[in-house]
Amino acid sequence: MNRNLLLTAIFLLTASGILFSQETNYYLGTGNGSEPQGRSCASCHQSGNIGSPKYDTYKNTLHAVSYDSLKTMLSYDCLSCHTTGWIPGPATYGADEYVLKDSTKTPNYVITNIAAFNRVKNVGCEACHGPLGIKNTNPTNPGDTVILGANHWDFKNINKLNYSAELCGQCHQGVHNPYYDEWQQSVHAHSNISFVVTNKSCVRCHVAQNFILWASNPQGYRDTILATGSDVKPLTCVACHDPHAKNNQHQLRFAITPQSTICDQCHNNADTIIINSTPHQTTSKALTGSPLFGYQYPGETYINSAHTYAATERCVNCHVYASPFNGQTSATGHTFFPRVEACRNCHSDFYTVVDTSNHDKMFDYRGTQTRTDSLINVLQTKINKASHNDSLTTAFMQANYNLLSITGEGSHGIHNTRLVQKLLRDAIARFTPTALLNETGMAPNKYELSQNYPNPFNPSTTIKFSIPESGNVKVVVYDAIGKEVVTLTNNFYQAGKYKIEWNASSYASGIYFYRLVSKDFQMVRKMVLIK
């Protein structure tokens, strides 16, 4: 995007009254608060004055010193993004009117009016809010040529708040600073706005205006539609970064800590586990190793992988890793795609054992993702084979909840390998579809538990049973010392012949027993697992 063309377009829109009214065409400057009211933004927007005290926190931001801190390093071509009101051509009292390019100087420009230039140096309020001044028809001194427009506070019609990424993208793009270019490739830029604006429970994490309101007061926030039509913006720059304050690193609205960062505010499922529901946005709890990630079976021990402890900046370590973008020299990370360069920081052999040119396998360090996907496929196959009766059982809902949690977190186990793979193995072991086949033919006239086949087996075997009348059927597997291993079914069945498959891939070789209980009938048989 050509900045000069963009600035010219902004001026034309401004002059035509599309962005601002006809009277608000002049830059009066941010000031420092010592000016009389109405002569600068700071003169009103500081503590103890009539406006919201935005200047108190803005003055600590990088924008407030964007020229002052770098003036000896800036060339003439840099000034358009380090000053306010740089619109070549029209007389708007912007910074460009007080600077001349001079190739004989270092830096290559001269300031023709230092007092006037100082009024609009740095990236001030009007760099984002537009020119808010009008000509002073009765100045008390020669410096009072511009005063504040009386209607600048009209955010609906005059000074309409701009939540777009394009506003920041006027400067934060290109070879020098490609944040906007990267953001455009991110999922944040392509949220399904048409869907979320009709669902109040979604707007907090999908609409910039709502997220900002929530971030300012999480306890008092209530879901509501704050914008409609073209005013609705996805998670743009100002959603995550506060242009008015530097309370946190990078002007983020939430601090970066080993326990939480701004990403966690949305990539985080609810604080309860409801096994018959679909978990949403489970990444944060997966990385944390929270007991609220997946259904963690009682009596089992769950251990986290090293990422839980090594990611001292959590999501930022990998997803906002500073790396050259599209061959450019600047190192940023606002596509939010994980970077293989981040893996190398801890895994010195990463490039040796991983084919980073293969997009599907570029993070499959030592087969981590392959093993996870294999376990996912085994569990998914079981879930797909479940009957209607199966879907009503607790075992099914627990296993399915784990499957949904793990596929939902999206990293194929990378975020927390040990926890994810343990949850999958436990779900596989504790759920086996029942009534895979209700064999046709005449109803049996007696209870029967058949010998499993094959036997010995590895890793799967089939168990058949027959019941002559409807009732509850329970089939349980025990190890050689009589300890219960898994309940294959505990459900109501109509009279008939059935078979169950047991996958023992997560169990050790040895002798096992399986027992059928239905009404007054009980029977036990032996089977042998050989690996």
DSSP-derived letter for residue 123 is S
**152: alpha, beta or left, given left = phi > 0 and alpha = psi -120 to 50?**
alpha
With a cut of 70, say whether residue 413 has pLDDT above it: yes
pLDDT of residue 446: 92
pLDDT digits (tens, 9 = 90+) for 467-496: 998 888 899 999 999 999 998 888 777 788
SS3 letters across 219-253: CCCCCCCCCCHHHCCCCCHHHHECCCCCCCHHHEC
Range list for CATH 2.60.40.2550 in the chain = 437-529
Q: 474: part of which helix (H) or strand (E)?
A: strand 471-478
CA distance 355 to 381: 29
3-state secondary structure of 477: strand
How many C-beta atoms lie closer than 10 Å to residue 50's C-beta? 10
- The pTM assigned to this predicted structure is 0.77
With a cut of 70, say whether residue 440 has pLDDT above it: no
From the number of C-beta atoms within 10 Å of its C-beta (0-12, 13-18, 19+), residue 342 rates as buried
Q: Which CATH class is domain 437-529?
A: mainly beta
Strand partners, 463: 500
Whether the upstream peptide bond of residue 459 has omega within 30° of 0, thus cis, is yes
pLDDT digits (tens, 9 = 90+) for 323-365: 777 766 666 889 999 999 899 999 999 999 999 898 889 999 9
Judge whether 85 and 96 are in contact, CB under 8 Å: yes
Taken in order 474, 479, 484, 486, the sign of the CA dihedral is: negative
More confident of the two residues 313 and 430: 313
CA distance 240 to 238: 5
**524: Cβ–Cβ under 8 A, 6 or more apart, which residues?**
449, 513, 514, 515, 516
CA distance 172 to 103: 26
Radius of gyration of the chain (CA): 33
Exposure letters 405-428 (e unless 16+ CB within 10 A, then b) = bbebbebbbbbbbbbbbbbbbbbb
- Quick one: angle between helices 394-409 and 368-384, nearest 10? 140
Quote the tokens at residue 382: 């079981």
Residue 439: pLDDT band with limits 50, 70, 90? low
How many C-beta atoms lie closer than 10 Å to residue 106's C-beta? 9
Across 3-7, 63-67, 81-85, 400-404, least confident range: 3-7
With a cut of 50, say whether residue 218 has pLDDT above it: yes
